[in-house]
Copies of this chain bind each other. A is one copy, B any other.
């Protein structure tokens, strides 16, 4: 940490800051400029984070030099993490596609979806059994019945299952049925839930919060990893901005940023990220060209009948086109040494 003192700070104020820092078990390195004094602080991150430096008299600002996450960082683990999910390897240069309806609505709808997803070449079936909805009066999901249907679809098609878990209590139940536990955007900083999936023995797909910085997102992964579960995938799904044509603004640059800062795989969800089905195919291609390890796509056998997010779901036909396109882009990416 670097402490920048105010140009008008007195020597007594400077001394007091130094005293506090040293008293906390940290070392200082002082640099006196013509205008102001700068104090470099060296030592344990933990001790630093508990010093309310900016509240001290004479301090103009404090600048953090190091990040607060460790296990999620590229410095901790240099090589890309590859997550093996029953033989499917996420992050190994293959493109992983997770697709399906927003919500599980009925066995028939799910089975139809699963077939479409399977035949088009995807490896995962997605579908929400627990649905966080803005209004209490909207459809909230089939809960355990939905989980059973997902298991039945896996049974029939061999697709792996990714589905959302929304509270601590249902983690064991969802982990019984799912191959991957999804943490939704609204729960990215539900720390109790992060800790709970950190103790589960299933990989976790961690969606980005609607207003979460990349730094906060990496720290959310750290919560999971700190409990022992190192199998974490990020999922970019759009951030909230002033632009109102799209439901969210899909931040594709986050993919390359995460690849620089972390060793964990990155998935992109252009369906929620745009909220407009016409934009899903171009943004899926863009995500893969930008370095994403996988995609999460909403497909519905009949979007016009969907109980949730029909406006952003692809028809089976559109999804097949998408699969052809992203497979071609992924093949090309295999030839690009990034």
| CB under 8 Å from chain B, chain A span 56-81 | 56, 63, 65-66, 68-69, 75
- Which of B20, B256, B289, B306 is A52 in contact with, Cβ under 8 Å? B306
User: Which of A112-120, A154-162, A174-182, A215-223 contacts the other chain?
Assistant: A215-223
- Across the interface, which residues of B come within 8 angstroms of A310, CB to CB? 52, 54-55
- Which of B4, B135, B304 is A56 in contact with, Cβ under 8 Å? B304
- Across the interface, which residues of B come within 8 angstroms of A186, CB to CB? 189-191
- Across the interface, which residues of B come within 8 angstroms of A214, CB to CB? 243, 245
Minimum C-beta distance from A250 to chain B (A): 5
In the complex, the count of this chain's copies comes to 4
Task: Say yes or no for A274: interface residue by CB 8 A criterion.
Answer: yes
User: In the complex, are the beta carbons of A283 and B252 less than 8 A apart?
Assistant: yes
- Across the interface, which residues of B come within 8 angstroms of A278, CB to CB? 256, 260
What 1/0 mask marks residues of chain A from 115 to 134 whose CB sits below 8 Å from any chain B CB?
00000000000000000111
- Across the interface, which residues of B come within 8 angstroms of A75, CB to CB? 7
- Which of B63, B132, B169, B250 is A189 in contact with, Cβ under 8 Å? B132
User: In the complex, are the beta carbons of B137 and A211 less than 8 A apart?
Assistant: no
Bound form: Cα–Cα A75–B35 in Å? 11
Interface footprint category on A: 35 or more
Task: Say yes or no for A149: interface residue by CB 8 A criterion.
Answer: no
User: Which of A36-44, A82-90, A91-99, A199-207 contacts the other chain?
Assistant: A36-44
Minimum C-beta distance from A168 to chain B (A): 6
Bound form: Cα–Cα A139–B46 in Å? 9
- Across the interface, which residues of B come within 8 angstroms of A246, CB to CB? 253, 257
Task: Say yes or no for A272: interface residue by CB 8 A criterion.
Answer: no
Bound form: Cα–Cα A4–B169 in Å? 44
- Across the interface, which residues of B come within 8 angstroms of A320, CB to CB? none
- Across the interface, which residues of B come within 8 angstroms of A213, CB to CB? 242-245
User: In the complex, are the beta carbons of B303 and A55 less than 8 A apart?
Assistant: yes
Q: With contacts A191-B133, A249-B241, A303-B52 known, is A33 near B42, CB below 8 A? A: yes
Bound form: Cα–Cα A256–B273 in Å? 13
- Across the interface, which residues of B come within 8 angstroms of A240, CB to CB? 211, 240, 242
User: In the complex, are the beta carbons of A138 and B215 less than 8 A apart?
Assistant: no
Minimum C-beta distance from A29 to chain B (A): 4
Bound form: Cα–Cα A189–B35 in Å? 29
Q: Beyond the given A137-B226, A328-B332, could you list 9 further A-B residue pairs with CB under 8 A, ordered by the A residue number?
A: A2-B63, A50-B307, A133-B191, A213-B243, A249-B253, A253-B273, A253-B283, A328-B335, A332-B332
